[in-house]
Structures are given as structure tokens and as C-alpha cells.
């Protein structure tokens, strides 16, 4: 086969887009498993509903969150950290569903990171106007593992920068089913999400859900 598998065709989104060394955007990668993933997501939310957490500085985040897996990311006056217990219920976070784990592992492998074993999935819920400021994912103990980020629902503008916060980030439009994988040289790059625009998704409604898989411990 002589044609470039990832050749850009005018008017057509490439199925795979390199973002940086160690970072790749996989367009529509989650679509084949969307039914199983959305079903599992609803079960998680029933056990551990979304909540808007507070930063250590006392600011309430515009993004609502929950978790699944053996560790969940939390923030409060004492700082950012992973905890196996949901602070709202006092119970362990819901287990990571097989559909979640399988998608994360397949995406990591497609991004060049084999043997990914996520133990945490941070689930973010964006409604119109919600945003995520530039930050690094650095609360994990294992920086050798990549981050796998799955987009569901309304489209969003993903900001992907560099190791320096001051550098201007590049902007990527993420749509339902898109997956971003970054690790290796890009593992600690600053990233964020611009304010979500108004809209209505046929399956997810007036929201964007982001599944972020990590190896936390």
C-alpha cells in the first residue's frame, strides 16, 4: 500500500493527528464502543453523582466531576490528591467498567503506549460556559503511563500547550467519540478546555462528558 494512511483530505478530518512528540488525536476512536461506554457511564453516575468540587483556594470549579476506579481525583481545602473513598458518600468509588478499561487500553496502544493499566478515571461534566484552565496532570505517582482522554457529547476546544504555562497552546476541536492520548515527552504538557459553547447533542444533550484515564498509583 503506497498511500499515506493518514493523508489529509480537503474537507475531511484525518483519523489520526499528531499533536506533539508523544501526543496524538484519534478522531472517532470511541464511536464503535459508544453504546457500552454511555451505558456504563450512567451506572457510575447513579452510584457517584456529579459534584462541583472546591480548589484549595476556595474557588468552586465550573466543571462537575465524579470518578470510577480504585482511586479517584479529589480537591478541597487540603489540596489535590487521589483517594479511594468518595468524600460525598464515604464509600469506595464505583469500579471501572470493562467497557471503560478496554477503550482506554486500546486507545493507549493506538497512541504508542502498550500495557497501559489505568486505575483511575476522572469524569468531567461540562455544561455551556464551563471551562478548564491550563494545568498539568501531576498528582499521579507514575508519569511513565500516558493520559487517555475521551470526549462525549458537545464539541469542545481543547487547549494543548507545552511544559511551560506561558507558551501559547494550540487549539483542537474535539467532537463526540474523539480520543486524545499523551505521554512520554508530552506527559506534563499544560492543557485545558475553552468555555463550552451552547448546543444540544443528540445522545448526550446539553453537555460534554470527558473521561480521563490515568495510572494514579
Structural domain includes residue 2:
no
Q: What pLDDT does residue 1 have?
A: 32
Structural domain includes residue 58:
yes
- Boundaries of domain holding 85: 17-214
Structural domain includes residue 124:
yes
Confidence bin at 193 (pLDDT 50/70/90): very high
Confidence bin at 197 (pLDDT 50/70/90): very high
For the chain, the domain total comes to: 1
Q: What pLDDT does residue 12 have?
A: 57
pLDDT tens digits, one per residue of 35-85: 999 999 999 999 999 999 999 999 999 999 999 999 999 999 999 999 999
Rounded Cα gap, residues 205 and 199, in angstroms: 8
Rounded Cα gap, residues 166 and 177, in angstroms: 30
Mean pLDDT of 86-94: 97
Count CB atoms within 10 A of the CB of residue 190.
19
Confidence bin at 142 (pLDDT 50/70/90): confident
Q: Is the pLDDT of residue 8 over 90?
A: no
Q: What pLDDT does residue 3 have?
A: 35
- Phi and psi for 137 in degrees, rounded to 5? -90, 95
Residue for grid cell 501526543: 23
Portion of the chain with pLDDT greater than 70, in percent: 94
Question: What's the whole-number average pLDDT of the chain?
Answer: 94
Count CB atoms within 10 A of the CB of residue 62.
15
Q: Is the pLDDT of residue 6 over 50?
A: no
Name the more confident of 50 and 8: 50
Structural domain includes residue 12:
no
| C-alpha distances in Å from residue 212, one per residue of 7, 9, 14, 131, 167 | 28, 29, 22, 15, 23
C-alpha cell of residue 216:
494514579
Closest CA to 129 of 53, 206, 198: 198
Confidence bin at 9 (pLDDT 50/70/90): very low
Q: Is the pLDDT of residue 18 over 70?
A: yes
Q: 83-99 burial by CB neighbour count: b if 16+ within 10 A, else e?
A: ebebeeeeebbbebbeb
Q: Classify the phi-psi angles of 197: left when phi > 0, otherwise alpha if psi is within -120 to 50, otherwise beta.
A: beta
Rounded Cα gap, residues 159 and 37, in angstroms: 25
Look up the CATH number of the domain holding residue 110: 2.60.120.590
Q: Is the pLDDT of residue 149 over 50?
A: yes
Structural domain includes residue 7:
no
Q: Are 216 and 119 in contact (CB under 8 A)?
A: yes
Structural domain includes residue 194:
yes
Beta strands in 119-196 (DSSP E): 120-126, 132-135, 147-153, 156-160, 170-174, 179-182, 191-193
Q: What pLDDT does residue 81 have?
A: 96
Amino acid at each position: 500500500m503506497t498511500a499515506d494512511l493518514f493523508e489529509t483530505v480537503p474537507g475531511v478530518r484525518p483519523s489520526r493527528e499528531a499533536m506533539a512528540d508523544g501526543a496524538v488525536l484519534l478522531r472517532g476512536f470511541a464511536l464503535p464502543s459508544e453504546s457500552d461506554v454511555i451505558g456504563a457511564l450512567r451506572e457510575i453516575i447513579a452510584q457517584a453523582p456529579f459534584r462541583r468540587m472546591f480548589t484549595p483556594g476556595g474557588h468552586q470549579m465550573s466543571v462537575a466531576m465524579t470518578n470510577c476506579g480504585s482511586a479517584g481525583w479529589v480537591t478541597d481545602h487540603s489540596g489535590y490528591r487521589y483517594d479511594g473513598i468518595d468524600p460525598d458518600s464515604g464509600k469506595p468509588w464505583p469500579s471501572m467498567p470493562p467497557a471503560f478499561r478496554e477503550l482506554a487500553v486500546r486507545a493507549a496502544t493506538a497512541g504508542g503506549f502498550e500495557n497501559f493499566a489505568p486505575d483511575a478515571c476522572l469524569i468531567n461534566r461540562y455544561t455551556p460556559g464551563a471551562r478548564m484552565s491550563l494545568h498539568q496532570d501531576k498528582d499521579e505517582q507514575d508519569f511513565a503511563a500516558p493520559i487517555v482522554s475521551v470526549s462525549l457529547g458537545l464539541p469542545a476546544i481543547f487547549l494543548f500547550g507545552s511544559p511551560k504555562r506561558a507558551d501559547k497552546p494550540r487549539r483542537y476541536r474535539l467532537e463526540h467519540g474523539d480520543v486524545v492520548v499523551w505521554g512520554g515527552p508530552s506527559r506534563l504538557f499544560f492543557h485545558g478546555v475553552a468555555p463550552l459553547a451552547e448546543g444540544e447533542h443528540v445522545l448526550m444533550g446539553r453537555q460534554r462528558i470527558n473521561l480521563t484515564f490515568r495510572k494514579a498509583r
